[in-house]
Amino acid sequence: MMSMAEKGEVSRQQIVETANRLFYQRGYNQTSFSDIAEAAAIPRGNFYYHFKTKDDILAAVVDYRIEHIRAMLADWDREFADARARLRRFIQMVRGSGKDLARYGCPMGSLNIELGKAQPALKAKARKMFDLFRDWLAAQLKALGHKDAAGLALHLLGRAQGIVVVAQVYGDQKYLNQELDQFEAWLDKQVSSRK
């Protein structure tokens, strides 16, 4: 029973995963049904069995990303008991994505910026990706004894976003790694002063 996927789930999953990649690499508004259909080898008309509108595809993609983030954060929490180690793991993750980040920017940031321009309804959903990291960061910082953990979490998010933006603007992965080094040192300093 559970091992057998429902009919339609396979092609639906193909659409979501392909759209997820193309939305990241080209942007949401610059990705057409034809683009997704061609990349996923699925006829265009098939889309409307699974999704009513293009916005619905984006909603599914954001849900997909949210689930991925949630699982990743849960993994880190399971893997590391120490909040400091968890935060280092976060930086390590950014570092590992360096190539894509320098090329396409941040999947959360670039999507929010695009949608924030003139598509508030869609942006409201995309913002939830940020909420996940914000709340997770705040929890770690609170565990480390920081008073304004929520404020510091937003600060760290901003630092990370800025690094990625400049790295993308100049296509410079080396800059990204250097800034992450500073980020890590800054983090260690912040943490040790509270221990």
- Residue 177 is a binding residue for its own copies (CB under 8 A): no
**Which span sits near its own copies by CB under 8 A: 4-12, 55-63, 83-91, 158-166?**
158-166
The phi and psi torsions of 97 (rounded to 5 degrees) equal -95, 10
- Gap between the Cα atoms of 190 and 195, Å rounded: 9
- Residue 6 is a binding residue for DNA (CB under 7 A): yes
- Residue 93 is a binding residue for its own copies (CB under 8 A): no
Pick the binder of DNA from 10, 71, 74, 124 (CB under 7 A).
10
What crossing angle do the helices spanning 83-96 and 173-192 adopt, rounded to 10°?
170
Which residue, among 73, 71, 60, has the nearest Cα to 134 in the 3D structure? 73
Identify whether the C-beta of residue 147 lies closer than 8 Å to the C-beta of residue 60.
no
Residue 89 to residues 11, 33, 80, 104, 136, Cα–Cα distance (Å): 34, 36, 9, 22, 12
Measured from the CB atom, the residue of 9 and 181 that comes closer to DNA is: 9
- Residue 32 is a binding residue for its own copies (CB under 8 A): no
Task: Point out which residues bind DNA (CB under 7 A).
Answer: 6-11, 31-35, 42-49, 52-55
* Residues within the interface to its own copies (CB under 8 A): 25-27, 29-30, 103-105, 109-110, 112-114, 116-118, 127, 130, 151, 154-155, 157-163, 165-166, 168-171, 175, 178-179, 182
